[in-house]
Amino acid sequence: MELEIENGVLKKIHMLYFGDDDIKDIVIPYGVTKIGYQAFASDRHQIDSITIPDTVTDIDDGAFADCHITSLTIPDSVISIGNDAFIGCDRLESVTIGKNVISIGDHAFNDCRSLKSVTIGNSVTSIGDFAFSVDRKLECITFGNSLTSIGKFAFHGCESLKSVTLPDSVTEIGESAFEFCYALTSLTIGKGLKVFGDDAFSECDNLKRITLPSREFELDPKAFDSSIRKAFEERDVSNFIINYKEN
């Protein structure tokens, strides 16, 4: 096996010899500052784990697309996660995103069909479009307190997601961001939210409990499907429960 590194950028992994395809664990050398475009992208390598050193600051577009890793810790040195960075990592079960990551790109973890839990660091300000879309086993997502925007379709089709708590820092939720989250039963909305994308929580058939920041909070019914929308407009507590945060 050979790692092609140029000026601190890991550009590609090359399996050179018989038996290289049996390698399960890879440690990226200390001093690498960037994981380059599609560096590990493959539907062939059966790699279980990749250790990223704390010298890496950027994970480029498609860097780990279609890898078969099972878990991942992104070190605190990383600032950005590119588009499609981990798309199609079908065995990835858990992700911890370092505390200095600022942005998560479009489709970054899209179609990670085994992903169950994600912890997002406190420096992340934006989650890209389709970032976690159709991660059907995703049950738990923890947002950091610097997050301001959630892109369109970001968690679309995460049908195992049970609850969502939005920090006060979130000001915008994109179109269909949580659409088809069938298992979602409770939603807590932070006081900073200003923009609901259309159908943001549409088709969340089991959503029963909504916690709002205050009685004065203006809820945009366009974010919900027709049955829940009617309930919100009429404040019909027989259909769901509205709570208010104690400030």
At 217, the pLDDT band (50, 70, 90 cuts) reads confident
Judged against a pLDDT cut of 60, whether residue 240 lies above it is answered with yes
148 bridge partner residues: none
pLDDT at residue 23 in the model: 67
pLDDT band of 70, cuts 50, 70, 90: confident
Instruction: Give the residue-averaged pLDDT of 110-131.
Output: 93
What local confidence, expressed as pLDDT, does residue 239 receive?
Answer: 59
Q: Is the pLDDT of residue 18 over 50?
A: no
d(CA 247, CA 244): 9
Identify the pLDDT of residue 24: 74
Confidence at residue 216, expressed as pLDDT on a 0 to 100 scale: 79
pLDDT in tens, 224-236: 877 677 666 655 5
**pLDDT for 25-55, tens place per residue?**
888 999 999 999 999 887 555 678 888 999 9
Give the per-residue pLDDT at 49: 83
pLDDT over 70, % of the chain: 87
Q: What is the pLDDT of residue 227?
A: 65
What mean pLDDT value characterizes the chain?
86
Please name each of the domains of the chain with its CATH number: 1-147 (3.80.10.10), 159-170+182-247 (no CATH)
Per-residue pLDDT at 233: 65
C-alpha angle 201-202-204 in degrees, rounded to nearest 5: 75
